[in-house]
Every structure is written in structure tokens, then in C-alpha cells.
Amino acid sequence: PANRLSQFSESVIRGMTRLANRCGAINLSQGFPDFDPPEEILSALETATRGPHHQYAVTWGAPRFREALAQKISRNTGLSIDPDQHLVVTCGSTEAMMVAMMTACNPGDKVIVFSPFYENYAADAILSGAEPIYVTLNAPDFGYNPQELEAAFEQKPKAIIVCNPSNPTGKVFTPEELTHIITLAEKHDAYVITDEPYEHIVYPPHVHTYAASLPGAWERVITCNSLSKTYSITGWRLGYVLAPQEVIAQARKVHDFLTVGAAAPLQEAAVSGLELPDQYYSDLQDLYSRKREVFLGYLRQTGLPFTEPQGAYYVMVDISSLGFETDTQAAEWFARKVGVAGVPGSSFFREPEHRFIRFHFAKKEETLHAAGKRLLLLA
Ligand code: GLN
């Protein structure tokens, strides 16, 4: 096998789901809902399966889907998105990130990654031949040190990856931070690759800012995104890359030879999600705000320290007081003995950091109560 494959392991996140299933633990590891997508999407899926959508969609995305996507993005960002020029529909944000990396980077190019980071980015960098350089997001508020970021840009990176709202920290980047990042990227002629699947899961007073919509940003931002979290359809694998036409022309080639296209009937059915009114998104925000309160309520009672997430649906819990040698041992113990599975925090850090377990709360309230009651046995 290729040498590059020895540089990373299988996903720990997805491995924890398998462990949770084996030992019957409540699965708060890999982040996905245990509730259904909206009714509009379910009924559109039934119709789509009886329609003429069983062969390949257009490689860049089914026209109706791209049209609905462009309208939704234009509405949210204030940008004027052309469905024929600015979009490639991918198999989830996972493929979108891989496409963005392979489009932006030559082998040997450096890419700035904030640490802690979503697990896939290190593997994406290695697979695309790029070399990650890390800038720390410092606990407890997971802010970055501007000088450290400026020093990283001095190493002439080709791109910086920004997950916003951030998985696993729950940080929501402010317009000022994003402007700082974009200004540095402009100065050093780098791309800003964003990953924004939690755009609609943000807790007031925090507000999501689309990096691509900031002044002067459009030309260098490659936005990766997904429908998974917004419409509770993680298994549908629908995502996209949004960028200027010159970037998309190249990104389409990468996508073409990686996967040919995302599932045609699912693109058709997901149009009904993209056409939902604004009320859907404010209800989603309320729904997740309640879930967050339920779960954080139990965490507070355990006495374990954690940082309240500003967005997304993860929380990094400091388990150092429990006395385990590593977070991996702690996560195994949580899954097997407490009956609640989380992800060992070390899989999100560059440096050996064993203080955290990441739990997610994208679950029905009854699931969160059941998990919370098990966690209270620690109190
Ligand atoms: N984003 C989810 C998580 O961090 C899972 C994504 C995936 O497994 N593709 O848990």
C-alpha cells in the first residue's frame, strides 16, 4: 500500500459509532440526529423514487437542485450565486473538502489548520499531498492568537481551512476574526477554504457569518457545505462547493473523476428542503437551543468542566479529573461502563492532548435525558 496511508488511521469518530453499536451505548460520538428529516423532504423522497431520476444526474449537480441551492445561498449570504458557474454538488461536505483541497493545492503546499480540528482535515491534507501547519485554538474559549496566525501565514501556505461554526469546539468565528483571516490570505495570496455544515445551528447571541460574503472575500474563499445537518439527512451524502467560476471550473474536474455525481433521486427530493421558508431555520435553531440546554444541564451536574458551544452540536468535556491515563481509555470506559459513547478528544488535536471527550447532542430530548441520567452516576 501507498506510504501516505501509514500517516493516518481510520476515522476515530466513525470507529466510536461501531463501538457504541457493539456495546449498546447511547451514541453521542459521531454527530448525527436520531430523528427524522422534515415531512416535506420525506414525502418528496417518496415521489422522487417513482420519478425519472434513477440514472446519473448532471455531474455538477441536477439543474433543479443547483437552482434551488443557488437561490437559498443567495438569500442567506446576499451574494448573487449563479447555479451554472459557482456550484459543484458533491457527496457531502466530506467530498467537498477533498475537492477543495485537491483543487487548491499542489503536492508539498502548506495548509493552515486550526487545532483542534475536524478529523478529516489532516487526512484530506495528506491525501492531496499538502502539509498541514497548525494554529492553536486555545481552551477554554477556543480563540486564536493573532500573532500565531500571522506567523503561520509567513510560511507561505496555499490555503487555510476554517470550520465555522467549528467542530469540535463549538466556536463561531466573528466577522472581525474572519476579516483578519481573509486580509492575511489576501496579503499572502492564499485560499480560505471554509467548512460550514452547521451554518443554521448557532446559539443566540452568536450569529453565523459567511466568509465568502465579507468585503473582498469572494475571489479567494472556497466554501464547502452540506445539507446533512440542516435537514437531518446525514445519510444522503449531499454537499457542495461554492466558489468563483475559475475555481469551480477546476473543482468540477476533480469531482468528475472522484465520484461522477451525488445520488440523483436524493438531489431531486432535497429540493423540497431548500425551498422551506425561513421559519424552518428559526425553528431548527430553537430546537437545537433546547437540546443544548437539556444536555449542558446534565453536564453541569456532573461537575466536569466544559466550554459552552456557540454553534454546532458538540461539546468538549474536560475529563482530566477522572484520572484516566488517556482519553481513549476514558472514552472506552464511558461507552462500556457508563453506556454513553463520545469521541476521544485527541483525535481532533495535533499535539498529544488527552483532557477531552467530545459529546454531541443532536438527539431527541428523551435520548438526551437517558444519556444525561447515565452521566449523573459520575456526580
Ligand atoms: N461531522 C460528524 C462528526 O463530527 C460526522 C461526520 C462524518 O462522520 N462524516 O461526528
- 300 touches ligand 1 (CB under 6 Å): no
The residue whose C-alpha atom lies closest to atom 9 belonging to ligand 1 is 94
The helix or strand, by DSSP H or E, that contains position 66, with its residue range, turns out to be: helix 63-77
Q: What is the mean pLDDT of the chain?
A: 97
- Using a 6 Å cutoff on CB, does residue 30 contact ligand 1? yes
Whether ligand 1 lies within 6 angstroms of the CB of 170 is answered as no
Please report the sign of the dihedral spanned by the C-alpha atoms of residue 236, residue 243, residue 170, residue 123.
Answer: positive
- The finding on whether 235 has its CB within 6 A of some atom of ligand 1 is no
pLDDT of residue 351: 87
The pLDDT assigned to 49 comes to: 94
Question: Is the pLDDT at 379 greater than 80, yes or no?
Answer: no
Q: If you measure from the C-alpha of residue 11 to the centroid of ligand 1, how many angstroms do you get, rounded to a whole number?
A: 9
Give the integer Cα–Cα distance in Å for 173 and 146. Answer: 13
Domains with residue ranges and CATH for the chain: 3-30+279-376 (3.90.1150.10), 39-274 (3.40.640.10)
Compute the average pLDDT of residues 311-317. Answer: 98
Distance CA 43, CA 35 (A): 16
Q: What is the pLDDT of residues 84-124, one digit of tens each?
A: 999 999 999 999 999 999 999 999 999 999 999 999 999 99
Which atom belonging to ligand 1 lies closest to the Cα atom of 168?
4
pLDDT, tens digit, for every residue of 133-152? 999 999 899 999 999 999 99
Q: Provide the 8-state DSSP code for 27.
A: E
30 C-alpha to ligand 1 centroid (Å): 5
Question: Any bridge partners for residue 129, and if so which?
Answer: none
239 Cβ closer than 6 Å to some ligand 1 atom:
no
pTM of the model: 0.96
Amino acid at 296: L
* Closest ligand 1 atom, residue 29 Cα: 10
Cis peptide before 197 (omega within 30 of 0): no
**pLDDT tens sequence across 44-59:** 999 999 999 999 999 9
Q: Is 94 a pocket residue for ligand 1 (Cβ < 6 Å)? A: yes
Strands (E), the chain: 26-27, 87-90, 110-115, 131-138, 143-144, 159-163, 191-195, 221-226, 239-242, 314-318, 340-341, 343-344, 356-360
96 lines ligand 1 (CB under 6 A): no
Residue 239: phi and psi, rounded to 5, are -145, -175
Burial tier of 318 (Cβ tally within 10 Å: 0-12, 13-18, 19+): middle
Please state, in angstroms and rounded to a whole number, the distance separating the CA atoms of residues 295 and 313: 10
Q: Cα(first)–Cα(last) distance of the chain, in Å?
A: 47
- Please, which residues have CB within 8 angstroms of residue 158's CB and are 6 or more apart in sequence? 104, 105, 106, 109, 110, 111, 130, 190, 191
Stretch 192-215: mean pLDDT, rounded?
Answer: 98
User: Beta 239-242 vs 340-341: how paired, if at all?
Assistant: unpaired
pLDDT value, residue 119:
93
Residue 314: what are its φ and ψ, rounded to 5°? -120, 155
